[in-house]
Every structure is written in C-alpha cells, then in structure tokens.
Amino acid sequence: MRTSLAKFGQAIKLPGLSFALAFTLTGFTIAFSDAKVLSKIGSPLEFIKSAGATAGNAYLALFQGSIFDINLTKGHNFFQGFYPLSETIVIATPLILTGLSVALAFKSGLFNIGAQGQFIFGAIGASYVGFHFQLPIVIHVIAAALAGMALAAIWGGAVGLLKAKTGAHEVILTIMMNYIAGYFILWILKTSQFLRPGRIDPIAPEVNQSARLPLLAGANLRIHAGIFIALVAALFVWWLLTKTTIGYKFRAVGANGQAAKTAGISVPFVLTATMAICGALAGLGGAVQVLGSEHALNADIAGSFGFDAITVALLGRAQPLGTVFAALLFGALHAGGRTMQSNTGVPLDIVLVTQALIVLFIAAPTFVRFIFRLKKLNSSAGLTSKGWNG
C-alpha cells in the first residue's frame, strides 16, 4: 500500500509541480498587469495584499466559470449550479477529438498541425448532410458524422500521401492546408448551396432536428451526447495502438522509420493511413461541434480547437487517456476564462499563457527539477517529434 502510494506520489509530482509553477506565474502576470495593483506600489504591504486579491479573485472566477457556481442555483434547482461544468465538457468534447488526432500522429512520428483544417472539413460535411437531407433519427446523425469524417479523412490523408510520395514535410503541408481550409469555408458559406436563405452574413442553415445529438441534462444545460462519442474515440485510439497490427505498424514507423521499412512495413501506407485516421478524428470533432452544440455552420466554427489540440496532445503525452484529461482541463480553462473576463476584467487570453507554461514545464522535467532543487524525479521518456529529416 505504502509503495503504491509513494509510486502514485512520484507519478504526479512532475505534473503537480508544473501546474503549480504555471499557475503561480500566471497569477503574477494577472496581478502585475493590473492598474489598481500597480498604483499601490508605494506601500509594500498594501501592494502584496492587493496583488493577492486580484489574482485570487481571478482564480475564483475561473473556478466558478468552469466547475460550479452557487449563484446560478438561486431560483433554479441545485443542478443549474453545474452549468459551468456542462460548458467545460461542451468545450472539451471537440478538443478531445482534435487532441486525439494530434496524439495519434505523434505516435507515428508525425506532427499534425492540420487538425484545424481537418476540423473545418468535418464541420462542412456534417453540416451539409445535416441540413440538406431528410433522414430518420439516429441514421441522420450517423450519416452526417460519417460525411464529415470522410471529407476530413481525405483532407488529412492527402498530407500523408504527399509526404510519402514527394518527401514534403507534414508540418509545412498542414500549416498551408489550414490556411486553405480557412479560406475555403469562407467561400463555401457564400455559395447558394450553403448560405442560409434570407441571410447575407456567412452562416449555413441549421441542421435538422433529426441530425442533432441529444442533450444529456435537459434544455438548460448545453452538455450533449458528443462527450460519449469522444470517449469512445479515445478508447478506439487506445485499442488501435495497443491491440492491432496496424497500430503496431504505426508505432514502429514512429519509433524508427528506417527499421520499420527494413522489417517490411510499407511506410507510405502507414503515413497515409495515419493521417487519414487523424483527419477523421479531427473531422469528427468538427461534426460533433456542428451536430451537438452549434447546429449551424459558421465561419468561426473551428475557433482554435485545432491549435489547442496540439497543446492538449502534448500535455496528454500523446496517450489517449492523458489526452482526455488534458482536454477536460483546457475546456475548464476556456469556460472559466470567459467568466473571469466578464466578472473580473482579466482578459481570457491569459488562459493561453497558462496552457503554454504547463506544457513547457511538463516537456522539461529537468527544468522543474532544477527549479525545485529535486535530486530525482520520475518522468516518462520525453515526448519527441521528428526534426525535418525524420
């Protein structure tokens, strides 16, 4: 018992210290950029008090906006207080899927920056099938999601194929394809097929009722069945990587492409297949976003889900379960960040700083050890991507 506790303590020491360090630095940034705090710089005691209060209030608002807010229960039932938690999960759902897309690519030694573009094509496909066709319930949702996944799989798979056939680097390809996808959605929303009748701003018609994912906790909370889809996808990625031959090939190519080639694994096939599955995962994220919470395709549908996915996958060490937790954390930070911005005037963007710092410290165990003067720190092998020649 004691040894397993000690083991557990060792395992969470690095993430725990990284989080503490990241939140402390963020707190300093919040406090020292506040005009009211800075005006008290004359008297040290007042200054520290005011700085503490500012940072404390911001973090309180962050909690209220992401987990539970007692104020929301007034006049409603107790569960309404969990509205923030529902928001956290609504944001985390597409993040889990895009995060898995990036994580799976990491396992094959690929750096998929293209989740953003893949997400967009997933959303376009799901939206079109969702509003254009009349299909029975359940079948409609599945058809719409599959359409989105198929488009995104083609968009993602193209990267793998191009890399395999021409040697072009996937980082460059995916960055460029994100821009192209971004302009493509702007264009397609103006076409007569997609423009909502009677509107001139770029927004598509709402998807039919039959194509929407069911809400899980009544009409007042936005949480929808997409979270189950995301969790099943995480399970699928875990199964694919650990229990199947193709997953073994993915990991073999990721570990050492040359050795995998010598062992008779078709590297071009693995690259294309990996990127197609990654595309499908991110595309499912886009589909879930349309079918679950947004219902209508708009130009900003992808937000920053594709970019946050990279930090999510890095924080989750490219493991499926880790990615789920990382996505939930970032979902909480985003949901809470909104409340923080409206309640305390601290801009939401500070959340990006926290995210970056957490990932930075997790990726640099030797640095954390150095800061806290620790002799030894258990840490799994560092997550690495391949350089340009990989």
Partner 1 sequence: MSEIRSSVEKRRLRGVVVITLLSSLSFLYFGFISPGKNKTTFGFVLNNEWVLIKEWVIASATGVKIFSGISLVASVLAILAYRKRRQIVFPVGVATFGILMSFITWAASGKFIPLTGLLQGALLLAVPLIFGSMSGLICERSGVINIAIEGQLLASAFVSGVVASLTHKTIWGLIAAPIAGAAISFLLATFAIKFSVDQVILGFVLNVLVIGLTDFLYKKLLVPYQSTWNTAPTFGKIELPILSKIPVLGPIFFSQSIVVYLMFAIVATITFALFKTKWGLRTRAIGEHPTAADTVGIDVNKLRFKNVIIAGLIAGVGGAYYTVGSVGAFGKEMTAGAGFIALAALIFGKWSPIGAVFAALLFGFADNLQSTLTIIGVSIPSEFMLMVPYIATIIAVTGLVGRVRAPAADGVPYLRGGAH
Q: Which of residues 319-348 bind partner 1 (CB under 8 A)?
A: 346-347
Q: Which lies closer to partner 1 via its Cβ, residue 78 or residue 183?
A: 183
Q: What is the DSSP letter of 381?
A: P
- Near partner 1 by CB under 8 A, which window of 50-58, 214-222, 240-248, 364-372? 364-372
By CB under 8 A, residue 357 contacts partner 1? yes
By CB under 8 A, residue 120 contacts partner 1? no
* Number of amino acids touching partner 1 (CB under 8 A): 53
Q: Which lies closer to partner 1 via its Cβ, residue 24 or residue 33?
A: 33
CB of 386 to partner 1, least distance (A): 8
CB of 54 to partner 1, least distance (A): 12
Task: Of 96, 153, 124, 130, give the one whose Cα is nearest residue 323.
Answer: 96
Bridge partners of residue 298, in order along the sequence: 203
By CB under 8 A, residue 307 contacts partner 1? yes
Contact 386, 109 (CB under 8 A): yes
Spatial distance between the Cα atoms of 276 and 143, rounded to a whole number of angstroms: 18
- Near partner 1 by CB under 8 A, which window of 192-200, 218-226, 282-290, 358-366? 358-366
By CB under 8 A, residue 258 contacts partner 1? no
Annotate 254-289 with DSSP letters as a single string: HH-HHHHHHTT--HHHHHHHHHHHHHHHHHHHHHHI
Q: Which of 8, 28, 228, 370 binds partner 1 (CB under 8 A)?
A: 370
Contact 336, 66 (CB under 8 A): yes
Bridge partners of residue 215, in order along the sequence: 224
**SS3 sequence of 307-369:** HHHHHHHHHCCCCHHHHHHHHHHHHHHHHHHHHHHHHHCCCCCHHHHHHHHHHHHHHCHHHHH
Spatial distance between the Cα atoms of 337 and 348, rounded to a whole number of angstroms: 5
- Near partner 1 by CB under 8 A, which window of 27-35, 46-54, 242-250, 270-278? 27-35
Q: Which of residues 154-213 bind partner 1 (CB under 8 A)?
A: 162, 165-169, 171-173, 175-177, 179-180, 183-184, 186-187, 190
Contact 267, 253 (CB under 8 A): yes
Bridge partners of residue 296, in order along the sequence: 206
Q: Which of residues 33-92 bind partner 1 (CB under 8 A)?
A: 33-34
Binding site for partner 1 (CB under 8 A): 29, 33-34, 111, 162, 165-169, 171-173, 175-177, 179-180, 183-184, 186-187, 190, 307, 310-311, 314, 346-347, 349-357, 359-360, 363-364, 366-367, 370, 382-389
